[in-house]
Amino acid sequence: MSRIKINYDKLKKEHVEKLMNICPFNAFEYENEKLTINSACKVCKMCVKKGPEGVCEYEEIAKVQIDKSKWTGIAVYVEHDEGGIHPVSFELIGKAIELAKKTMQAVYAVIIGADIEKKANILLTYGVDKVFVYKHEKLAHFNIERYANVFSDYIETIKPSAILIGATALGRSFAPKIAARFKTGLTADCTKLDIKENTDLVQVRPAFGGNIMASIVTSNNRPQLATVRYKIFNKPQVVEPKGVIIEHNCQGINLESKIKHLKYIKKERGIDITEAEIIVSCGRGIKTKENLRLAEELAVILGAELACTRPLIENGWFDARRQIGLSGRTVAPKLLINLGIHGAVQYEAGIKNSEYIISVNKDKTAPIMDVSHLGIIGDLNEVIPQLLQKIKAEGVINGL
Amino acid sequence: MKIAVCIKQVPASTDVKVDPVTGVLIRSGTNNKMNPYDLYAVETALKIKAMIPNTKVYAISMGPAQAKTILNEALWMGCDEAILLSDRKFAGADVLATSQALSQGLLYIGGLDLIICGKQTIDGDTAQVGPEIAELLAYPHATYVNEIISVNEKTLEVSTNYENHHEILAISLPCLITVEKDIYTPRLPSYKRGLDFKDYEIEVISLKDLPDNDEHKYGLNGSPTQVEKIFSPDKNDKKEVVEGSILHVVDTLFNELKTKKYI
């Protein structure tokens, strides 16, 4: 049993309010002059550490410790479809290799599907020690029940210490199913991962809408599951393959399912700048249609949506759905690039939820510079063409 | 048909900071509300109730006694029954222990054909409790459902929302779904309906009422994950203006995009 105990003999009346203020979860209740702790308590121990000394106490009876040495290796669940392997899987392999080095563990990639030999060979070139290939015609498309049965078979046989899964729509459905089946810990949307000598993953994730970061461990359960969003970690270098492919024909695994896949509908890319993760936005400084094409080219390379300020709607260069600002849309991208935008208050009202803002402008004193994380002072006519040239020369275009 | 909706009480504002000196969480206000995504789950259940005669909708929540407020809201919106899982032994629950308690609460209701959850909460943000409940109950599940296409006593046909595609699934009942926001527009609680529930007592159940009441599976004891520490995120308030030769500014811009992995 672990819980917070109130030592009533030490509790004074003036402590009550103090404790109630300290508790981040409002778990203290004060009724009929009696202080109690309700089920909102997360046993965060704030009241023990920050409260009046000795009033709150943490009680714990040690649990039976598991034998962590029976679980070894870091596994990456490889997400893929007709289009190929999802790039988040490569990023996770890169991180797994880094973590495995610290603890002298092996790195495994697990891929489930029908026609996947080629993909398995690609995975080897990213430096994994073993690629586990589970092949069956019934596994041609992702079906959560079948895939979960296959992956469970892998976990039971290989016993990996940690499993990394991309925090995609698919991964966020799949990972919890696996974690619940093995009654183990799962940490969603990790933004940082580290590892302790005893192979415990240190998982850092945002909470409360990103206002707080929490560092989380799964100290007495294996496997440890973590999901990580795309583009959090770096894609590793391609290396000379040193690993091996281990095939499994899925015999003995239950491939029945209560879910039927009826249709797969590719999304039409409608105009919606409000949900865009990356936006290239154009202002009056664009001046010519030629420059507009440059902005479009940059948007294509970055996988960004194009947006604009009000004057460019008025001169008919843009669809009205692309306007940012008070009379347009409010956006919240991870990256906003402003090209030739002065920064009227109406425009700035529409961009204040952007995570990172880069602005290119000739005028150093433009108000847009005050809200930009990075201001680039220069002429669009020169900066953008040279940037495009450099990107092409370095061949670093993201292939998504 | 018997439908259950899982709802959660969350802080009205996620605007919290960590005091840099004491390490204590500072919250602006202590008001609570129903997790906004759960409103869509409630609405979905009520829409299905309207499609299938003799359907009963249960709202269930885990939390302290204050969580009755959001259960009342669910009743006022149109749910038929409300149940609160409340016990100090549920305290400190992570995703697994929360799912364990809720799945047992759902078994306590019994005979459910469909369980509906919001796609995630705004305080935990994990989107993992729904699928874990499904697995613990051995129900098939679908996440990010953005449309109910058809439903009968045996099968539910839905559209699910992925990054680049939609997938149409037919799922055998009983099953669990998590729904996207905007699947339907949630109705407002009806004051008139509230009057009907004036004398209604929300049933409060604790660990001893659950089919599996092994206390090691609940709360902090049943939680495989532990929070080691909490801290403030690195704020990205650094502002920089770069001028100079065209080569220099282009290099800066290029490197910035590269470091941030956009190219």
Q: Which residues contact A381 (CB under 8 A, 6 or more apart)?
A: A291
Q: What is the pLDDT of residues A57-81, one digit of tens each?
A: 988 766 778 999 999 999 999 999 9
Residues A303 and A187 in one domain: no
Burial code (b: 16+ CB inside 10 Å, e: under 16) for A206-241 equals ebbeebbbbbbbbbebbbbbbbbbbbbbebbeeeeb
Q: Test A355 with B236 for CB contact under 8 angstroms.
A: yes
Lowest mean pLDDT among A185-189, A351-355, A374-378, B136-140: A351-355
Total domains in chain A come to: 3
Cα(A187)–Cα(A218) distance, rounded to whole angstroms? 9
Q: List the CATH number of the domain containing A23.
A: 3.30.70.20
Position A267 scores a pLDDT of 84
Residue A189 with chain B: CB contacts under 8 Å: 125-126
Is the model more confident about B42 or about B221? Answer: B42
- Asked if the structure places residue A202 within a domain, the reply is yes
- Asked if the structure places residue A168 within a domain, the reply is yes
Query: Which residue of A lies nearest to B163 if distances are taken between CA atoms?
Result: A169
Cα(A176)–Cα(A119) distance, rounded to whole angstroms? 25
Chain A interface mutation, best of B62, B137, B227, B256, highest count of A Cβ atoms under 10 Å: B227
Residues A229 and A116 in one domain: yes
Residues A8 and A113 in one domain: no
Q: Mean of the per-residue pLDDT values for chain B?
A: 91
Average pLDDT rounded to a whole number, residues A279-287: 94
Residue A281, pLDDT > 90, answer yes
What distance in Å separates residue A293's CA from the closest CA in chain B?
A: 18
Give me B193's structure tokens. Answer: 């309906």
Residues A118 and A183 in one domain: yes
Lowest mean pLDDT among A251-260, B84-93, B203-212: B84-93
- Asked if the structure places residue A107 within a domain, the reply is yes
Average pLDDT rounded to a whole number, residues A84-105: 96
Position A61 scores a pLDDT of 66
Cα(B21)–Cα(A71) distance, rounded to whole angstroms? 39
Residues A10 and A96 in one domain: no
Position A50 scores a pLDDT of 86
Residue B104, pLDDT > 50, answer yes
Average pLDDT rounded to a whole number, residues B131-152: 98
Position A315 scores a pLDDT of 86
Q: What is the pLDDT of residues A296-327, one digit of tens each?
A: 999 999 999 999 999 999 888 999 889 998 88
Q: Mean of the per-residue pLDDT values for chain A?
A: 91
Q: Test B230 with A355 for CB contact under 8 angstroms.
A: no
Judge whether B124 is closer than 8 Å to chain A, CB to CB: yes
Q: What is the pLDDT of residues A193-249, one digit of tens each?
A: 999 999 999 999 987 767 778 899 999 999 999 999 887 888 888 999 999 999 999
Judge whether B146 is closer than 8 Å to chain A, CB to CB: no
Instruction: Indicate the residue of A218, A259, A382 with minimum beta-carbon distance to B140.
Output: A259
Residue A52: DSSP 8-state: S
The radius of gyration of chain A's CA atoms, rounded to the nearest angstrom, is: 26
Residues A119 and A174 in one domain: yes
Residue B157 with chain A: CB contacts under 8 Å: 262
- C-alpha distance from residue A35 to each of A41, A157, A338 (Å): 13, 50, 55
Share of chain A above pLDDT 90, in %: 65
Q: List the CATH number of the domain containing A190.
A: 3.40.50.620
Position A212 scores a pLDDT of 79
Q: Which residues contact A265 (CB under 8 A, 6 or more apart)?
A: B159, B165, B166, B167, B168
Residue B11, pLDDT > 90, answer no
Instruction: Indicate the residue of B30, B215, B260 with minimum beta-carbon distance to A335.
Output: B260
Residues A167 and A280 in one domain: no
Instruction: Indicate the residue of B95, B160, B231 with minimum beta-carbon distance to A213.
Output: B231
A36 pLDDT band, cuts 50/70/90, is: confident
Give me A388's structure tokens. Answer: 């495009």
- The answer to whether A215 and A176 have CB atoms below 8 angstroms apart is no
B123 pLDDT band, cuts 50/70/90, is: confident
- Asked if the structure places residue A307 within a domain, the reply is yes
Position A400 scores a pLDDT of 39
Instruction: Indicate the residue of B169, B233, B238 with minimum beta-carbon distance to A210.
Output: B233
Share of chain A above pLDDT 70, in %: 97
CATH annotation of B2-217? 3.40.50.620
Query: Which residue of B lies nearest to A37 if distances are taken between CA atoms?
Result: B88
Q: Test B24 with A24 for CB contact under 8 angstroms.
A: yes
Cα angle B11-B13-B16, degrees, rounded to a multiple of 5: 95
Position B106 scores a pLDDT of 98
Backbone angles phi, psi at B33, to 5 degrees: -155, 175
- Residue A1 has, within 13 A of its CA and on its CB side, a CA count of 8
Interhelix angle B129-136/B95-109, nearest 10 degrees: 50
Lowest mean pLDDT among A34-38, A151-155, B180-184, B234-238: B234-238
- Asked if the structure places residue A169 within a domain, the reply is yes
Instruction: Indicate the residue of A210, A221, A376 with minimum beta-carbon distance to B252.
Output: A376
Residues A171 and A283 in one domain: no
Residues A221 and A101 in one domain: yes
The percent helix, strand, coil of chain A (3-state, each to 5) is: 30, 30, 40
A45 pLDDT band, cuts 50/70/90, is: confident
Residue A211 with chain B: CB contacts under 8 Å: 14-17, 233
- Asked if the structure places residue A220 within a domain, the reply is yes
Q: Which of residues 48 through 107 in chain B touch A, CB cutoff 8 A?
A: 62-66, 86-92, 94-96, 99
Residues A156 and A280 in one domain: no
Residue A158, pLDDT > 80, answer yes
Residues A45 and A98 in one domain: no
Cα–Cα nearest to A90, from A128, A129, A135, A133: A128
Give me A321's structure tokens. Answer: 């759905």
Position A330 scores a pLDDT of 85
Position A185 scores a pLDDT of 97
Cα(B77)–Cα(B59) distance, rounded to whole angstroms? 11
Residue B236, pLDDT > 60, answer no
Cα(B64)–Cα(B182) distance, rounded to whole angstroms? 29
| Inter-chain Cβ pairs, chain A and chain B, closer than 8 A | 299
Cα(A370)–Cα(A319) distance, rounded to whole angstroms? 28
Lowest mean pLDDT among A299-308, B27-36, B112-121: B27-36
* Pairing state between β B32-34 and B56-62: unpaired
Q: How many CB atoms lie within 10 A of CB B216?
A: 10
Q: Where are the domains of chain B?
A: 2-217
- Asked if the structure places residue A256 within a domain, the reply is no
Q: What is the pLDDT of residues B143-182, one digit of tens each?
A: 999 999 999 999 999 999 998 899 999 999 999 999 998 8
Top mean-pLDDT range of A43-47, B9-13, B17-21, B144-148: B144-148
Residues A17 and A53 in one domain: yes
* Domain that residue A39 falls in: 2-60
Instruction: Indicate the residue of B142, B166, B254 with minimum beta-carbon distance to A391.
Output: B254
Q: List the CATH number of the domain containing A289.
A: 3.40.50.1220
Average pLDDT rounded to a whole number, residues B231-250: 82
Cα–Cα nearest to B21, from A52, A53, A49: A49
- Asked if the structure places residue A255 within a domain, the reply is no
Query: Which residue of B lies nearest to A276 if distances are taken between CA atoms?
Result: B163
A399 pLDDT band, cuts 50/70/90, is: very low
